[in-house]
Amino acid sequence: MYSTILFFFILSSGILCLDAAPFNLTWPWNRKNVDPEVNMNASQLILSKGYPCIEYSVLTDDGFILGVQRIPYGRNETKYTPRPVVFLQHGLLCSSTNWITNLANESLAFLLADAGYDVWLGNVRGNTYSQKHIRYTPDQVEFWDWSFDQMAEYDLPAMINYALKITRRNQLYYIGHSQGTMIGFAGFSKNKELAKKVKTFYALAPVSTVGNMTSPLRYLATFLPEIQFLFDLFGVKEFLPSDWFTKWLATDVCSPTSEIFCSSILFIICGFDVNNLNETRLPVYLAHTPSGTSVQNMVHFAQMVNSDLFQMYDYGSADKNKAHYNVTVPPQYYPENMTTPTAIFSGGMDWLADPEDVKTLVPKIQHLVGNNFIAEYDHLDFIWGLSAADKIYKPIIEQIGLTEADDKLRFNKR
């Protein structure tokens, strides 16, 4: 009992007091020569590189207003012409900026635009660009009553259908990272009509079951009942980790030489490889990430660590689950029911999408069109790695080009 009370006190002091004292770090953006991209939003980041940008507000069926950015063509073009659509979906605690914070020749969104594609950048509920609702505000607990279940059920179809409506296309290519793959596996396996609208699903650092993850996120699973009780008691729904909480998670994975990485909960949860990151870009990465999510979403991840099942959110009792799902246990997701052509890109050093969990996932994919394993890659290398353009992005662009060429050939033979 004493340990539980002490845990409540420490956790509430660390997470609920968001103005806690910061780390004693010399932050790169405290220097005189601050990279201007530190203070830009997603649209400004795109425009600063010489690319066109259009912003949209997409309404979900349950009332969330999602911010979506679009790069309709490359920076060497002057006007839009109809072209294939590629939709990029960010991962856990992230936003659309993940695809545009590297240099232009290293960022997937810009490479796709220059290769002749109409690029759409999604943002799920609760992050920096999607904190609006037709009935609730972020100050209300009702605003945060969701996990990735609702992203898969509402956000994903709303954004994909909107992109197809605006561009007057029937299908698009979907590229997800981390949680972006998770909602893809969930959404495309349950929503057959949505799945038909995806030509190919490219899953970077794919996540379904997480029972083998080595990320410090496992620590949350250890204290799951206490965490759920604490947040219910205080009515706290937005996951905004304090510096104390970040430091607590960092103790197991950080050293004095990696302090700057360990100031970000994202690097702590996902891991990092200093040899495959452009350290001059760190101020930009850390200024835009993490981008926020709900406590319920983080609890959902922790639940899946304990259960080792790819399942919906557990409301904590048979009665509550019965009220939500009409069954006493949370329903599972079945990627094997997904017929979308899917290509996997996974890493051998990934703390979150552990190689053992990926091995469990791959045989379940009915229409596997690629299984690419990069032994030295961690979770964030797929979005920020110095070698990502050569090892991942350009092969994807080449494969999309081949798919488009095959489609044109079949069309011409009719």
pLDDT of 94: 93
Q: Which two tokens stand for residue 175?
A: 């590229």
Do 17 and 242 contact (CB within 8 A), yes or no?
yes
Show the beta-strand stretches assigned E in 230-315: 238-239, 293-294
Q: What is the pLDDT along the chain (414 residues), one digit of tens a residue?
A: 333 433 343 344 333 333 333 333 344 444 457 789 988 999 999 999 999 999 999 999 999 999 999 999 999 999 999 999 999 999 999 999 999 999 999 999 999 999 999 999 999 999 999 999 999 999 998 999 999 999 999 999 999 999 999 999 999 999 999 999 999 999 999 999 999 999 999 999 999 999 999 888 887 787 777 777 766 665 568 886 544 554 455 455 555 555 556 656 677 778 878 888 888 888 888 888 888 899 899 899 999 999 999 999 999 899 999 999 999 999 999 999 999 999 999 999 999 999 999 999 999 999 999 999 999 999 999 999 999 999 999 999 999 999 999 887 877 776
Cβ-proximal residues to 130 (8 Å cutoff; 6+ apart), any chain: 64, 65, 66, 67, 123, 124, 155
Q: How far apart are CA 177 and CA 155, in angstroms?
A: 16
CATH 3.30.429.10, domain 34-413, yes or no: no
Residue 198, strand partner residues: 172
Tokens of 16: 């609920």
What pTM did the predictor assign? 0.89
Distance of CA 241 to the CA centre of its chain: 17
pLDDT for the residue numbered 220: 75
Residues annotated catalytic, as ranges: 178, 350, 379
Q: pLDDT at position 29, please?
A: 43
Q: Is the Cβ–Cβ distance between 346 and 205 less than 8 Å? A: yes
- What distance in Å separates the CA atoms of residue 160 and residue 131, rounded to the nearest whole number? 19
Report CA Rg, the chain.
21
Q: What does the pLDDT look like over 267-292, one tens digit per residue?
A: 777 887 888 888 888 888 888 888 88
Q: Hey, how many other C-beta atoms are within 10 angstroms of the C-beta on 153? A: 20
pLDDT of the residue at 24: 35
Q: Domain-by-domain residue ranges, the chain?
A: 34-413
Q: Residues 299-348: pLDDT tens digits?
A: 999 999 999 999 999 998 999 999 999 999 999 999 999 999 999 999 99
- Whose CA is closest to 94, among 383, 305, 367, 358? 383
Nearest residue to 295 via CA among 249, 240, 237: 237
Hey, which bits of 258-325 come out as E strands?
Answer: 293-294
The residue among 307, 308, 326 whose CA lies nearest residue 318 is 326
Cβ atoms of 266 and 290 closer than 8 Å: yes
Residues making up the chain, counted from first to last: 414
Given the structure tokens 């996951």, which residue do they identify?
A: 239
